[in-house]
Amino acid sequence: MAAPTSELQAQKHSGKGEGETVGIALLGFGTVGAEVFRLLGENADAFAHRIGGPAEIRGIAIQNKNKLRPGVPQELLTDDAKALVARDDIDLVVEVIGGIDFPRELVLAALNSGKSVVTANKALVAAHADELAEAADRAGVDLYFEAAVAAAIPVVGMLRRSLAGDQVERISGIVNGTTNFILDAMESTGASYDEALAEATRLGYAEADPTADVEGHDAASKAAIMASLGFHTRVKFEDVHCEGITKVTAADIAAANDAGFSIKLLAICERLQREDGSEAVNARVHPTLVPKEHPLASVSESYNAIFVEAEAAGSLMFYGNGAGGNPTASAVLGDVVGAARNIVHGGRAPGENTYANLPIADFGEVETRYHIDMEVQDRTGVLAAISTAFANNGVSLRTVRQEDGEDTARLIVVTHAAKEATLDKIVADLSELDEVKAVHSVIRLGS
Amino acid sequence: MAAPTSELQAQKHSGKGEGETVGIALLGFGTVGAEVFRLLGENADAFAHRIGGPAEIRGIAIQNKNKLRPGVPQELLTDDAKALVARDDIDLVVEVIGGIDFPRELVLAALNSGKSVVTANKALVAAHADELAEAADRAGVDLYFEAAVAAAIPVVGMLRRSLAGDQVERISGIVNGTTNFILDAMESTGASYDEALAEATRLGYAEADPTADVEGHDAASKAAIMASLGFHTRVKFEDVHCEGITKVTAADIAAANDAGFSIKLLAICERLQREDGSEAVNARVHPTLVPKEHPLASVSESYNAIFVEAEAAGSLMFYGNGAGGNPTASAVLGDVVGAARNIVHGGRAPGENTYANLPIADFGEVETRYHIDMEVQDRTGVLAAISTAFANNGVSLRTVRQEDGEDTARLIVVTHAAKEATLDKIVADLSELDEVKAVHSVIRLGS
């Protein structure tokens, strides 16, 4: 009665059967890969019980076969990842290589040949989610990526499963440990950005080339993943407005501190109501002023925290180590258990579901409050001129603080909510005023 | 080839098919039930997309059919819950009645007839987990209970799925909003226990009969559930050592505050290393001194927070509204989506797995530090006598603070770690000393 494809699907969904061994290919053997290998070996009994059958790493793809790896049987190692993925005795592929193009090829090959995939690769997922999800759906297999966002903090599982019956309104989080370490160091020691970055590098919190972290790209990948899951709408890396922390100065941090704020690099995913009543979504990453009494303000060092607001659940916060070999391995192994259970018992995890397909709002549509720090002439009438520039654009001021300097004064204003597009216009107008010497910084308020 | 049972299992695991309607029986229509009904109706489209087919509430079991329920079609209401559960057009049973015996009967009937169950009933799950899990396993259906612990804070999902590849060492949490509200009010206003309880009752945070909350029974049910999931070992309600907050005085709170602590009612689930190297687990609920700098100390009002320590993941914290109609409905509906997806697409969620079956350590084996507040004679030699009572039991003192009164003095000591059994012995020894007028309170330190 059934067509061959349906039979294949049914077979897959009904599983290999209790007690059968799940064959695993491990792609990559860096810090995370080595921890996955170690923990899966050391706790083999526990994993067999939790899965319903043994999980066996049958091959490890590495670049350099000649590098010494104590404790790893030589016969497991191969430098031919494609051949490993294609092997008949592999049921599940664990990708912890990093990069985009090569892992994309391997993950697609695995999914297309009916193998489930667990990946920790945020860049890959954020760039190619559609293609990967389609391949997984076509083959009826699982694609898991809990480790791609905030390591063992179960953000992906929460958005995909726990909040599956709710409507997510907003996600805001500290999802990059390197930048949080740098900003925290600047705040607690008064150091400059360059000094704090040097310290982060020295302590191993920043990589030799810190670009992906400090420019916000890493956080933007995570924002894309969280927004896609939370809003059931595909949000890609290139849809995320992204500003890093390289322009944050010690003066910004000090001014924020005086006003009762900490500066944090937040990934913000938001459902917006447009004027015509329709909905859109936006995802962005930028330095943000967080009130000191907000839980996100007290997230120190390289910790991560994610704040979720949902219609019925209200506010939820999740906090923990968002990076590192062990926490990432924990997330990967949680996914391995889930995927392997389905291979043994049948069934599929809830996949990504982008049915809502909401439009992505341009950054200019986003409404927020602003903290603007400028240098102005020290004479009467200046405040009137500046207030007028704001008023002409329909934006009112919430607080104004003036500090007198030698020849010029420093003026710090906090606005009421205004759209990004309006703010751009105001900054342009301010720059044209004779009264304004320089606009030093514009930092958004939020949480 | 296959026996009839396996065929039935395979059929169930392969699902009803994409687009098929999932028939739901809703048992109970209190605050949570009404919210579940409302949200499932208002967001019917979203649910259909997330599940893979429509979810339809086909019957609602209530006690009083004549009570007016605006917006609820009369034909859905029935006072015969058993008949509703038995109906052929019901695939999934959602139990939000509360109590133990009657819901137990209904849930077992549902599972035994091959229907998946979502319940928010912590008392039922903590008391009868074994029986329910076995029935679900036998029928190859799902039993979900995310809402049973801390409402929409996804503790159950995290322990069951996200940390499935890790080893949980310790769980400590504020899992009862009523008692946290009372203790927080006592700390912030200096109120007595009775005054704070009255305020909690007035504001709707405490029920007319607050026993289950203030005596710690509610928290103990949640501790049993968390320990069972975290340690893969059945821990029942009666295995949980339980002390409530009724004996906590304003003086205790003030003394704790002076020493840099907040008093919180914690549910603590712990993996213990015995002297012979073997492992055991313990679950307990009692007022606990939490250092003010610990994240749990700043959990205010009726909020809940759960702190989990796992081998690879490190420390994770989850925070949010742990009770109330909306947050509980969010958790129930997340489970409904999960269970309904499996009904449509096939497969089963990971069930409870008690393979580790670790022994449950007696409370006497638990090691902790103690804050002991006593009234002593105000004369020389008293401290020596008291120190000796501790030293004779092998326990050393960490800090000693003396406040002089009129005829007697107040002595507050904090011990180094000692076993509960030893502490009982010390308190008995102290009570026999002439120098000790009274031991006012013994509060454990922890986090």
CA distance B264 to chain A (A): 19
For residue B8, is pLDDT > 80? no
Nearest by CB to B162, from A15, A154, A311: name it.
A154
User: What whole-number distance in Å separates Cα of residue A283 and Cα of residue A268?
Assistant: 6
Tell me the C-alpha to C-alpha distance, in Å, between residue A92 and each of A40, A76, A85, A87, A244.
Answer: 14, 15, 9, 11, 36
Q: Chain A contact for B179, CB < 8 A?
A: no
**Of B12, B16, B115, B222, which is the active-site residue?**
B222
Nearest by CB to B347, from A310, A348, A356: name it.
A348
The per-residue pLDDT of chain B, averaged, comes to 93
**Is A31 annotated as ligand-binding?**
yes
Question: A413 Cβ partners below 8 Å, 6+ apart?
Answer: A371, A372, A374, A386, A390, A397, A398, A399, A400, A401
Nearest by CB to B334, from A151, A162, A338: name it.
A162
Q: For residue B5, list chain A residues with Cβ-Cβ distance below 8 A.
A: none
DSSP H helices, B259-399, are 325-345, 382-392
User: DSSP string spanning A280-300?
Assistant: EEEEEEEEEEEETTSGGGG--
- Please report the number of interchain residue pairs, chain A to chain B, with beta-carbon separation below 8 angstroms: 228
A279-291/A261-273 β-pairing:
antiparallel
Q: Chain A contact for B26, CB < 8 A?
A: no
The H or E element that residue B207 is part of is none
User: For residue A16, what is the nearest residue in chain B, using CA coordinates?
Assistant: B10
Residues B115-125 have a mean pLDDT of 97
User: What whole-number distance in Å separates Cα of residue B350 and Cα of residue B347?
Assistant: 10
Nearest by CB to B161, from A46, A295, A338: name it.
A338
User: What whole-number distance in Å separates Cα of residue B239 and Cα of residue B294?
Assistant: 28
**Which amino acid is residue A294, in one-letter code?**
H
Binding residues of B: 27-34, 122, 207
- Give the pLDDT of residue A326: 96
Q: Chain B contact for A317, CB < 8 A?
A: yes
Q: Chain B contact for A150, CB < 8 A?
A: no
Percent of chain A with pLDDT over 70: 97
Q: For residue B147, list chain A residues with Cβ-Cβ distance below 8 A.
A: none
Q: Chain A contact for B312, CB < 8 A?
A: yes
Segment B37-90, tens digit of pLDDT: 999 999 999 999 999 999 999 999 999 888 888 899 999 999 999 999 999 999
User: For residue A50, what is the nearest residue in chain B, using CA coordinates?
Assistant: B353
For residue B286, is pLDDT > 70? yes
For residue B179, is pLDDT > 80? yes
DSSP type of residue B76: G
Q: Chain B contact for A165, CB < 8 A?
A: yes
Q: For residue A146, list chain B residues with Cβ-Cβ distance below 8 A.
A: 162
A316 vs B319: CB contact, 8 Å cut-off? yes
**Buried b / exposed e along B27-60 (16+ C-beta atoms within 10 A):** bbbeebbbbbbbbbeebeebbbbbbbbbbbbbbb
Tell me the C-alpha to C-alpha distance, in Å, between residue A186 and each of A197, A262, A265, A287, B322.
Answer: 9, 10, 13, 13, 35
> Are B239 and B287 a contacting pair, CB within 8 Å?
no
Those residues of chain A that have pLDDT short of 50 are 1-12
**Which amino acid is residue B380, in one-letter code?**
T
- Give the pLDDT of residue A65: 82
For residue A140 the two structure tokens come to 């009826």
Q: Which residues of A are catalytic?
A: 222
Domains of chain B: 4-152+326-345 (3.40.50.720), 157-321 (3.30.360.10), 366-445 (3.30.70.260)
B334 vs A165: CB contact, 8 Å cut-off? yes
Q: For residue A46, list chain B residues with Cβ-Cβ distance below 8 A.
A: 167, 232, 355-356
User: What whole-number distance in Å separates Cα of residue B71 and Cα of residue B68?
Assistant: 9
A152 vs B316: CB contact, 8 Å cut-off? yes
User: DSSP string spanning A163-175?
Assistant: TTTS-EEEEEEE-
Q: For residue A158, list chain B residues with Cβ-Cβ distance below 8 A.
A: 154, 157-158
Q: Which of A35, A316, A326, A357 to mutate to test the interface with B (most CBs of B within 10 A)?
A: A316
User: For residue A313, what is the nearest residue in chain B, using CA coordinates?
Assistant: B327
A14 vs B13: CB contact, 8 Å cut-off? yes
Q: Chain A contact for B170, CB < 8 A?
A: no
Binding residues of B for NADP(+): 27-34
A341 vs B318: CB contact, 8 Å cut-off? no
- Give the pLDDT of residue A447: 67
User: For residue A146, what is the nearest residue in chain B, using CA coordinates?
Assistant: B162
Q: Which of B11, B35, B330 to mutate to test the interface with A (most CBs of A within 10 A)?
A: B330
- Give the pLDDT of residue A97: 95
Tell me the C-alpha to C-alpha distance, in Å, between residue B275 and each of A325, B272, B280.
Answer: 31, 10, 11
Banded pLDDT at B447 (limits 50, 70, 90): low
E strands present in A90-223: 92-95, 116-119, 143-144, 168-174
Nearest by CB to A314, from B327, B338, B355: name it.
B327
Q: Chain B contact for A15, CB < 8 A?
A: yes
Q: Chain B contact for A44, CB < 8 A?
A: no
**Buried b / exposed e along A253-288 (16+ C-beta atoms within 10 A):** bebbeebebbbbbbbbbbbbeeeeeeebbbbbbbbb
What ipTM was reported for this prediction?
A: 0.92
> Are B409 and B402 a contacting pair, CB within 8 Å?
yes
The CA-to-CA distance between both ends of chain B, in Å, stands at 56
Q: For residue A326, list chain B residues with Cβ-Cβ distance below 8 A.
A: 311-314
B335 vs A146: CB contact, 8 Å cut-off? no
For residue B33, is pLDDT > 50? yes
Q: Chain B contact for A331, CB < 8 A?
A: yes
Nearest by CB to A342, from B329, B347, B353: name it.
B347
Q: Chain B contact for A355, CB < 8 A?
A: yes
Residue whose pair of structure tokens reads 């909350």 in the numeric block:
B213
Q: Chain A contact for B350, CB < 8 A?
A: yes
